[in-house]
Structure 1
Amino acid sequence: MVLAASAMMAPAVNAAALKLGGVHAPNSFEVQALERFAELASEKSGGSVTVTVYPAGQLGDERSMIDMINTGAIDMFANVADWNQHLVKDFAVLSMPFVFENLDHLKAFQASGTYAAMRDEMLAQKDVRILADNWYRLPRVLLTRDAVGSIDDVNGKKLRMPDIESFISTWSAFGAKPTIIPFAEAFLALKTGIVDGMEAPLSSVYAQKFYQVAPHITMTNHGLAPFNIMMNEGAYQKLSAEERDQLVQAAVEAGDFYTSLIQDQFTEQREKMVAEGATLTDIDLEPFGERARAVAQDFETRGLWRAGLFEEIQGLRQ
């Protein structure tokens, strides 16, 4: 009986043929880098490990795939580390707007014992391993159909949000009306006026064509959480020790490729967006930061992450 139950719960792995789910468009930086990861995994393993990438929400939305990687219904899931909070609550702090001052600040936290403990907890309690989290993207920005010149202009706007409480509560504090819509459906929601705007990584704006329907890009630079590749531990352990090392190496190298790809190509993409009518505008961020800090304090009081974590991260500013 025990053996039968274990077999029913086994991850969906067939001769090291791995399924990787994501939500980004096929031409996005993310999917280009995930395809590079798949190539590297095959090359390094001599073909004994193959990875098939399923982009654009083909396997489900973000929350569904988090559940599926936890149960082993899929082998890997790639997305921003904000979503990890559905497995370990302390990851919620990564999704807080303005928690990180810059990329060096984020990397300092990733190098800390606290962050290592969060990764270990996710592996021990949820059977989900982070293969690589050195996939660094551009900051998150605000995209709207109408121009935004100050925090007052956010008031009353319907903004597409992921199903992440820190996003919803913080943008509510900014005066917006958050609307939960899967990332893969965001373009249509903007085009049809279901929402007035959204927040998104600047590096995703061109590939997803968001600028065509929300041409006002406000440089809030409010989020810097890394993109990461996660893997079900049962699927990982089915590989040989050598294959596991090769897969991790492939994920890390693909992360370096991803980071460089964004830096190399975004300048050209920015010029194309501006030529097609998009505007990129700076804004006074202090009012946003003040309200975000108040939300963070409330979250900590309510136990959305452990006490003292937010201030610990602020102490790592360089």
Structure 2
Amino acid sequence: MVGTASAEVAAVFGGADPLEGVYDRQNQHFVDLVNERGAGQIKLDFIRGEQLGNDVQVIEQVMSGAVQFYGDDFSFYSNWVPELNIVSWGFLFRDNAHVQAFIESNTYKNAIEKLRTEQGIRVLAAAPGQIRVMVSTRPIKGVEDLAGLKMRVPEIRTYLALWETLGTAPARVAWGETFLGLSTGVVEGAEGGISSIYGAKFHEAAKNVTRTDHVRIIANIAVNDAWFQSQSPEIQELLTEAAQDAVNWQMETVTAEQAATLDKMAADGAVVTEIDVAPLRERSEVAVEKLEADGFWPKGLWAEIQALD
């Protein structure tokens, strides 16, 4: 419990993940932990879904201080810290241990310090998250089937480059409009974390689920730094510990749920397919030199992360 304070601190956590998606539940878990451990001292209000806007819009509200907390996919910060473009590049990480090695690296620490000092966002905790897969209205058996596929991708520069590299025709469609887009043929494919795709029911509109496993998401919880710095050391410690507990809970939950979620998709009529991703990985690696030359991230950073144990 936090020590006695003169007044209860109130703050807002802005969500952007689909309801009951894994990051929605991670964030709710964090809010519950804080409200329980800091009862009478701090109270968080969680605004779920996209009531406050999409991820970029909520992050901007955290920067301005209109909202105090945010949590979701770490790669959205690449809009402000170019070095982080690399975390959404396909097939960067081998497994969760490799993701954790990155989180413990100086590269990661320098990037989040830049985010804090230049944009006013402090990352309280991060951990390996979901694996991203793809759904499509037609079967994908290999890289050749991706040619010309109208593919919905997030508004992240590297995602656009990745899916162009893999041969698709990326389209910018809001997450909340993707189900309709898949249903009407505006787009033929989409990608995302397994839990997020299931929560948004994309597999019902595009019944081919392909285990590309192209990106391993880094989950995070962040806070407006000026607001955080204005709190007592006790509340700062409580928030930091609760954030770490929440992202760890997310990691354990994702690991336990991914196979079961794919089974649920199949039970709903989806066809879940594993393919040889080596040709996709080869295409992504061939593009690295050009992306570094074009300034997507610093030269040599991809090789540096590949060397992490």
TM normalised by structure 2 equals: 0.93
Judge which range, 283-292 or 95-104, deviates more: 283-292
Size of the aligned set, in residue pairs, is: 303
Matches within 5 A, 1:109-124: 109-124=102-117
> Helix, strand or coil: the match of 2:293?
helix
Contact 2:132 2:216 in 1 (8 A): yes
Q: In structure 2, what is the equivalent of residue 148 of structure 1?
A: 140
Looking at structure 1, the residues matched to 261 and 175 of structure 2 have their Cα atoms a distance apart, in angstroms, of: 20
Question: CA RMSD for the aligned pairs?
Answer: 1.7
Matches within 5 A, 1:5-24: 16-24=9-17
Q: In structure 1, what is the equivalent of residue 3 of structure 2?
A: none
Looking at structure 2, the residues matched to 106 and 163 of structure 1 have their Cα atoms a distance apart, in angstroms, of: 22
Q: 1:31 aligns with which of 14, 24, 27?
A: 24
Instruction: Give 1:73 shift.
Output: 2.4
* Inter-CA distance 242–107: structure 2 relative to 1 (3 Å threshold): same
Judge which range, 52-61 or 181-190, deviates more: 181-190
Instruction: Give 1:184 shift.
Output: 2.5
Instruction: Give 1:205 shift.
Output: 2.2
* Inter-CA distance 159–239: structure 2 relative to 1 (3 Å threshold): same
Instruction: Give 1:95 shift.
Output: 0.7
Q: Deviations 1:176-212 (Å, cap 9, x if unpaired)? A: 1111122232222222221101011122222221111
Judge which range, 48-57 or 121-130, deviates more: 48-57
Q: 1:303 aligns with which of 295, 299, 309?
A: 295
Read off the aligned partner of 1:167 and give its amino acid letter.
Y
Q: In structure 2, what is the equivalent of residue 3 of structure 1?
A: none
Contact 1:170 1:291 in 2 (8 A): no
Instruction: Give 1:46 shift.
Output: 2.2
Read off the aligned partner of 1:41 and give its amino acid letter.
V
Instruction: Give 1:15 shift.
Output: 5.7
Contact 1:31 1:55 in 2 (8 A): yes
Instruction: Tell me whether 1:253 sits opposite 2:245 in the alignment.
Output: yes
Contact 2:221 2:247 in 1 (8 A): no
* Inter-CA distance 210–262: structure 2 relative to 1 (3 Å threshold): same
> Helix, strand or coil: the match of 1:273?
helix
Looking at structure 2, the residues matched to 15 and 298 of structure 1 have their Cα atoms a distance apart, in angstroms, of: 52
Q: Deviations 1:49-72 (Å, cap 9, x if unpaired)? A: 222222221111122222222222
Instruction: Give 1:314 shift.
Output: 1.0
* Inter-CA distance 185–21: structure 2 relative to 1 (3 Å threshold): farther
Contact 2:194 2:261 in 1 (8 A): no
Looking at structure 1, the residues matched to 258 and 102 of structure 2 have their Cα atoms a distance apart, in angstroms, of: 26
Looking at structure 2, the residues matched to 268 and 278 of structure 1 have their Cα atoms a distance apart, in angstroms, of: 14
The structure with the largest strand share of the pair is 2
Contact 1:187 1:209 in 2 (8 A): yes
Instruction: Tell me whether 1:176 sits opposite 2:168 in the alignment.
Output: yes
Read off the aligned partner of 1:76 and give its amino acid letter.
F
Contact 1:24 1:55 in 2 (8 A): yes
Read off the aligned partner of 1:258 and give its amino acid letter.
Q
% same residue? 28
Q: Deviations 1:51-109 (Å, cap 9, x if unpaired)? A: 22222211111222222222222212212111111121111110101111111111111
Looking at structure 1, the residues matched to 295 and 262 of structure 2 have their Cα atoms a distance apart, in angstroms, of: 40
Looking at structure 2, the residues matched to 82 and 169 of structure 1 have their Cα atoms a distance apart, in angstroms, of: 14
Unaligned runs of 5+ in 1: 1-13
Instruction: Tell me whether 1:54 sits opposite 2:47 in the alignment.
Output: yes
Q: In structure 1, what is the equivalent of residue 203 of structure 2?
A: 211
* Inter-CA distance 301–17: structure 2 relative to 1 (3 Å threshold): same
Instruction: Give 1:225 shift.
Output: 2.6
* Inter-CA distance 265–293: structure 2 relative to 1 (3 Å threshold): closer
Q: In structure 2, what is the equivalent of residue 227 of structure 1?
A: 219
Looking at structure 1, the residues matched to 79 and 45 of structure 2 have their Cα atoms a distance apart, in angstroms, of: 24
Contact 1:23 1:183 in 2 (8 A): no
TM normalised by structure 1 equals: 0.90
> Helix, strand or coil: the match of 1:194?
coil
